[in-house]
Amino acid sequence: MQQAFYGALGSVMADVPWFILCCVPLMPLRKIEKKTMALRISLLCAFWFTCLFLGLWQNPQGGMPLLGVIRTGMYFPMLWVFYISFNVRIWKILYIFLFEQAAASQVNFASFFICELVWERSSSLLDGLWLPLCVWGILVIVYPLMWVFFKRVICPAMQILSEKQVRTLIVVPFLFFISTTVYGNISHMLNMIMWQRLIFSILFALIGIGAYVVTLTTTLDIVKKGKLEMEMLTMEQQLEQQSQRFNQLQSSIEQTANARHDLRHHFAVIRDYTKEADLAGLQAYLDEYLSYQPKEEAPVCENFAVDVLVRNYLHQARDAGAELDIKIGLPRKIAVPDSQLCIIFGNLFENAVQACQRQTEGKKFIRVRCVTEEYQFILTVDNSMDTQTKFQPGIGLSSVQAVVDKYNGALVTEVKDGIFQASVMLFMPVPESELAEA
């Protein structure tokens, strides 16, 4: 029982600091309050200790191999806790986890050497707490540096990089993790004295961590540069949209001035009909006048900016002969700024209108559905297009994708039977006030 207790406690002591460190880059993306996160970690650690203790107690002959199997199996509930606690997908969690595990392996190697060479104690977790105490001694130096790196570099990276980009980057920490695992299993068979193994382990760790940092920071710089260029392009698009709205406003002012000028003539005619008491003529004149007045359009949604933008494109779509089926359930304000919404609606509607304008045969139509549920924004835009036209994503969809990535959402496009389908989903941030009540 004593070996089971030492093995379970030592394993939890060695692993929990790294488990907490994994939370640091993802805290801005958490779904729950910090107190709830701390409770989940505590419960998982208690479950971890119980499984290790019972496994070693019931099977004392299993020794270290059994301890390794149980520890490996516990990674799955740990990943599950991360998945349900943070608003990220599994690739970002694995990316952080693999690097953290590789770094933890190097600390464990160094602790093993300190136990064996300096303290001349057994490094087995079943023989006491010497190894986890060595781990904690090294963490006094390493942990603050790792914390700063995770918070200042990996944390913004997890918010900026998309899942696809992280999926590409994960190759480096994965290879680093495999290499450290293999080296840990065969290092004792190498024909080297212990000090040589220690020096080799340190150099190996520095090379692996260096490769990890370089690939991450380089990719992050490239993405930041790309996003800056995209923001510049977005600003140009917004200026173009503002220019169109200004032209519409200028046209409305001119129409209002002309109408005011013409109104004097209409009043003069009405006065003459009134003097002559010609009610039938007055009625006919008023009916004719009203028939030429444009009908007032109902707003397409409650959001003013999106409403003005969309109605501008709907006018163009009607002029192109497209049938419209538009249902946009968008409130006046949501957690996504109007500027970002206008990028999404503006580019998708512009693409749909241009496709209808270029269409030379078949029925032209634009069908739009938009809903906001809880903290999700969902928009689908379907439009007709020439079947001979080959679809190629342009700058507009790239701008939409940039907004989607910012809110950890998804953009799906498909061309099927002469219909272009675009679907956007955004996960809107939860207000801090509601997180506090959770």
Helix (H) or strand (E) holding 373, with range, is strand 365-373
Helix (H) or strand (E) holding 291, with range, is helix 279-291
Q: According to the model, what pLDDT value does residue 117 have?
A: 74
Give the whole-angstrom CA distance, residue 389 versus residue 355.
Answer: 9
How many other β-carbons are positioned within 10 Å of the β-carbon of residue 105?
20
Helix 171-186 to helix 194-275 angle, to the nearest 10 degrees? 160
How crowded is the C-beta side of 377, counted as CA atoms within 13 Å?
A: 24
Token pair recorded at residue 30: 């958490």
Contact residues for 218 (Cβ-Cβ < 8 A; gap 6+)? none
Token pair recorded at residue 16: 């929990």
Q: According to the model, what pLDDT value does residue 423 have?
A: 93
**DSSP one-letter string for 101-141:** HHHHHHHHHHHHHIIIIIS-----GGG-SHHHHHHHHHHHH
For every one of its 438 residues, what pLDDT tens digit does the chain have, with 9 covering 90 and above? 777 787 788 888 888 888 888 888 888 888 888 888 888 888 888 888 888 888 878 777 766 677 777 777 888 888 888 888 888 888 888 888 888 877 787 787 778 778 877 777 776 777 778 888 888 888 888 889 888 888 887 887 777 777 777 888 888 778 777 777 676 666 656 666 666 666 767 777 777 777 777 777 777 677 667 666 666 666 666 666 566 656 665 666 676 666 666 677 777 777 777 887 878 877 887 777 666 655 556 788 988 888 888 888 888 899 899 999 999 999 988 888 888 888 899 889 988 998 998 888 888 999 999 998 877 899 999 999 887 766 666 667 888 888 888 887 889 998 888 889 999 999 877 654 544 444
Q: According to the model, what pLDDT value does residue 438 have?
A: 45
Q: According to the model, what pLDDT value does residue 435 have?
A: 44
Q: According to the model, what pLDDT value does residue 196 have?
A: 66
**DSSP one-letter string for 219-277:** HHHHHHHHHHHHHHHHHHHHHHHHHHHHHHHHHHHHHHHHHHHHHHHHHHHHHHHHHTT
Q: According to the model, what pLDDT value does residue 166 have?
A: 81
Helix 90-113 to helix 2-23 angle, to the nearest 10 degrees? 130
- As beta bridge partners, residue 152 has none
For residue 269, give the nearest of 241, 289, 292, 255 by alpha carbon: 289
Helix, strand, or coil (residue 382): strand
Backbone angles phi, psi at 158, to 5 degrees: -65, -25
**DSSP one-letter string for 52-82:** HHHHHHH-TTSHHHHHHHHHHHTHHHHHHHH
Where are the domains positioned within the chain?
A: 2-233, 236-291, 304-437
For residue 150, give the nearest of 24, 334, 335, 9 by alpha carbon: 24
Helix, strand, or coil (residue 186): helix
Give the whole-angstrom CA distance, residue 59 versus residue 106.
Answer: 29
Helix, strand, or coil (residue 5): helix
In CATH terms, the fold of domain 304-437 is Heat Shock Protein 90 (3.30.565)
